[in-house]
Structure 1
Amino acid sequence: MDIVRSLVLFGLAALAEIGGAWLIWQGWREHRGLWWIAGGVIALGIYGFVATFQPDPNFGRILAAYGGVFVAGSLVWGVLVDRFRPDRWDLIGAAICLVGVAVIMYAPRGGAG
C-alpha cells in the first residue's frame, strides 16, 4: 500500500511542478499574462507540499527519487501538451531514471539502510 501511495504522490508532484513551470513559461515566454504566471506559482507551491505526504521520512531520498519521476514526467508532458516527439535516447534516458527511482525508493532495506 505504501508503494501505491508513494507512486500516486510522485505523480501528483510531477503534475504540480511540471504544470506550474509550464504555466509560468506560457505566461512569460508566450506572453499570456500574469494570471498564467500566478497559476504557475500556486501550482509550484502545491508541489512543495506534496512531498511531505510521502511515507518515507527521508527528504533527500524522496527528492532524489522524484528527480527521475520529473525527467520522465517532463517527457510525457511534452508529448501530451506540446506535441513533442521524444527520440529513442529520450526514452532510454527516462527509463534509466525510472529504474533509479525504483532502486532509491523501493529497494528492500535492512535495519542499517
Structure 2
Amino acid sequence: MSAIVYIGAALGEIAGCFAFWAWLRLDKSPLWLVPGIASLCLFAYLLTLVDAEHAGRTYAAYGGVYILSALIWLWIAEGVRPDRWDLTGVTICLVGAATILWGPRAA
C-alpha cells in the first residue's frame, strides 16, 4: 500500500509544481495555480496515509520515489530519456528509501 500512496503523492507533487512552473516560466494563465495548489494539497494528504510511525521517515523514504517520478516526468513530459547515470542514481535512491521505510527497528 505504501508504494501506491507514494506514487500518488509523487504525481500530485510533480503536477502541482509543474503548474507553478507553467505559470512562472511558460507564461501560462494564473488559473494554472488553482489545480496546482489542489494537487499539492493532495500530495501532502497522501503522505499522511503511509503506515510509518514517524513523519520524518515517511518523507525521507518518499524522496526516492519522487526522484524516480521526476525522471519519468523528464522522459514522458519533456521528451528527454534518462541516461545510465540517472538510472544508477535512482536505483541507489530507491534502495535507500526501502531501507529507511522497511528496515528493522529496535523495539
TM-score, reference length from structure 2:
0.93
- Following superposition, the deviation at residue 48 of structure 1 comes to 1.0
Q: Which of 83, 89, 92 is the aligned partner of 2:88?
A: 92
4+ residue runs over 4 A deviation? none
CA-CA distance at 1:31 after TM superposition? 0.7
Rounded Cα–Cα distance in structure 2 between residues aligned with 1:93 and 1:13? 21
The runs of 5 or more residues in structure 1 that have no matched partner are none
Correspondent of 1:12 among 8, 14, 17: 8
RMSD across aligned positions (CA): 1.2
Matched to 2:34, the amino acid is: A
Identity of aligned residues (%): 36
SS of match in other structure, 1:53: coil
Partner of 2:36: 40
| Separation of aligned partners in 2, 1:36 and 1:15 | 16
How many Å separate the matches in 1 of 2:46 and 2:13?
10
Q: For the residues of structure 1 that align with 2:61 and 2:47, how far apart are their CA atoms? A: 11
What's the CA shift for 1:61? 0.4
TM-score, normalization: structure 1? 0.88
Gaps of 5+ in 2: none
Amino acid corresponding to residue 54 of structure 2 in structure 1: N
What amino acid is aligned across from residue 99 of structure 1 in structure 2? Answer: V
Is 1:28–1:37's contact at 8 Å kept on the other side of the alignment?
no
- Map of 1:68 onto structure 2: 64
AA of the residue aligned to 2:80: F
